[in-house]
Amino acid sequence: MVNEKQLRDEVKKLVSRDDVKYVIGYEQGTYGFQVTPSFAFTPEEAERFIFSPLCANNLSVYLMLEEKPPLRKGEKEDTRKVGLVVKGCDARAVVQILQEKGLKRESLVIIGVPCTGVIDPKKITVKFPHQIKPVDVREEGNHYVLTINGKNQKIPKDELLFEKCKQCEYPTPVIHDVLLGDEVKSTKKEEYKEIKTLEKKALKEKWEFWSKAFDRCIRCYACRNVCPLCYCKECIVDQLSPQWIYRSVNRSENTVWNLIRAYHLAGRCSGCGECERACPMNIPLTMLNKKIEKDIKELFQYVAGVNLEEKPLLAMFKPNDTEDTIL
Ligand code: SF4
Ligand code: SF4
Ligand code: SF4
């Protein structure tokens, strides 16, 4: 994993530059397994930065959340860069945003972390419930070492690792200005095992599976708010005129919402898994995203967020695209 001193030194260097506004990274949370986003404007604030297997959040969402109030008369736009710490999957979201011209490359300084996987907060909280005091976690080979109340516990990595990390094809950020450590090469290939199993089921069984899942949705929109690629100025679910989706929480409206969310991410989702992590109702949103990802790979040989030179999927066509998708 990352040398934290090296990380802090890089951040200190960056925030000391005149052309850098601030850097976004991680700091220790106030309880249990929590790690929280951290914003360093000064070298002193960079001292708070950490990187551990608990750093699951995709921080690129903050790039799209910064409010840019209208300029006063005579005021100049602040064009300073924002620094960002990214893992492999986070970097794919950044590439996707850049491809879509949501941001300019020159507005960013990217600190890449070659990633060996992060812990699924839901798994670790089930295994070690009611942890109030902050827990220190580090990686040692194929194990995690947890320091709880001064005592060390060794847990096999496989038991706590996010499922997405078990098939990660891009652990080293595909875009970076600084890379903290040696490249981590992936030997894994996305196999879509779960998706293939679901695809084989009868239509009625599929409907039962998804309607049961969507029935649980409370329409909190945490999945949308945490997603770095959900950055429309006004989300379709917030529009009242016309009102495309009713606010009532029922199977019909929940289904519409979840399918719209998934389709708006078609060919754009970077597979960071943040939507599912944030979902308080444990709805298997990754399955929806992965099904669409798999179809797009098969139909158009396209993978989102891996090539800055490429156009976004929906902004290009190839002469040999299959025509049966065109209505
Ligand atoms: S999916 Fe890959 S880059 Fe993302 S956290 Fe897991 S191992 Fe790291
Ligand atoms: S849809 Fe989910 S997995 Fe895809 S980019 Fe958004 S938060 Fe990440
Ligand atoms: S986070 Fe989960 S419960 Fe909330 S709107 Fe999204 S799918 Fe529904």
Q: Give the pLDDT confidence of 309-322 residue by residue, as tens digits.
A: 999 998 887 777 76
Which amino acids bring their CB within 6 angstroms of ligand 3? 217-223, 258, 278-281, 283
209 and 91, same domain (yes or no): no
149, pLDDT greater than 90: no
| 260 three-class SS | helix
Kindly state if the Cβ of 267 falls inside 6 Å of ligand 2.
Answer: no
133 and 239, same domain (yes or no): no
Tokens for 84?
Answer: 């960002």
169 and 198, same domain (yes or no): no
Name the one residue in this structure whose structure tokens are 């011209």.
Answer: 101
Domain's final residue, options 179, 209, 228: 179
**Residue from 57, 162, 167, 188 to probe ligand 1 pocket by mutation (most atoms less than 8 Å from CB):** 162
User: In the beta sheet, which residues pair with residue 93?
Assistant: none
77 and 218, same domain (yes or no): no
84 and 149, same domain (yes or no): yes
Q: β-pairing, 108-112 with 81-86?
A: parallel
**Residue from 162, 274, 283, 313 to probe ligand 2 pocket by mutation (most atoms less than 8 Å from CB):** 274
> Which residue has its alpha carbon closest to ligand 1 atom 4?
89
Q: Give the pLDDT confidence of 23-56 residue by residue, as tens digits.
A: 999 999 998 999 999 999 999 999 999 999 999 9
Kindly state if the Cβ of 56 falls inside 6 Å of ligand 2.
Answer: no
Domain's final residue, options 179, 201, 222: 179
Domain's final residue, options 179, 208, 242: 179
For ligand 3, the distance from its centroid to the CA atom of residue 221, given in whole angstroms, is 5
For ligand 1, the distance from its centroid to the CA atom of residue 32, given in whole angstroms, is 22
pLDDT of residue 120: 96
278 found inside a domain: yes
Q: Give the pLDDT confidence of 249-278 residue by residue, as tens digits.
A: 999 999 999 999 999 999 999 999 999 999
114 found inside a domain: yes
Amino acid in the structure at residue 234? E
116 and 142, same domain (yes or no): yes
Kindly state if the Cβ of 164 falls inside 6 Å of ligand 1.
Answer: yes
184 found inside a domain: no
Strand order from edge to edge, sheet including 136-140: 136-140, 143-148, 151-156
Which ligand is nearest the CA of 230, by number?
Answer: 2
Look over the chain and give the mean of its residue pLDDT values, rounded to a whole number: 94
167 and 208, same domain (yes or no): no
214 and 108, same domain (yes or no): no
Q: Which atom of ligand 2 is nearest to the CA of 262?
A: 1
Residue 189 — very low, low, confident or very high, per pLDDT cuts 50/70/90?
Answer: confident
CA distance 32 to 51: 16
Q: Which atom of ligand 2 is nearest to the CA of 96?
A: 5
157 found inside a domain: yes
144 and 272, same domain (yes or no): no
Domain total for the chain?
2
188 found inside a domain: no
- Can you list the positions of beta strands (E) in the chain? 20-28, 35-40, 49-50, 81-86, 108-112, 136-140, 143-148, 151-156, 178-179
185 found inside a domain: no
308 found inside a domain: yes
How many C-alpha atoms does 247 have within 13 Å on its Cβ side?
Answer: 5
218-224: Cβ within 8 A, 24+ apart = 218/249, 218/280, 218/281, 219/247, 219/249, 219/253, 219/254, 219/257, 220/280, 222/278, 222/279, 222/280, 223/261, 223/275, 223/276, 223/278, 223/279, 223/283, 223/285, 224/261, 224/275
187 found inside a domain: no
CA distance 210 to 85: 35
76 and 133, same domain (yes or no): yes
> Which residue has its alpha carbon closest to ligand 3 atom 1?
279
Region 131-151 average pLDDT: 91
Region 88-110 average pLDDT: 97
88 and 121, same domain (yes or no): yes
Domain that holds residue 154: 4-179
Tokens for 93?
Answer: 């979201």
For ligand 3, the distance from its centroid to the CA atom of residue 136, given in whole angstroms, is 30
| 97 three-class SS | helix
149 and 14, same domain (yes or no): yes
What's the gap between Cα 35 and its chain centre?
15
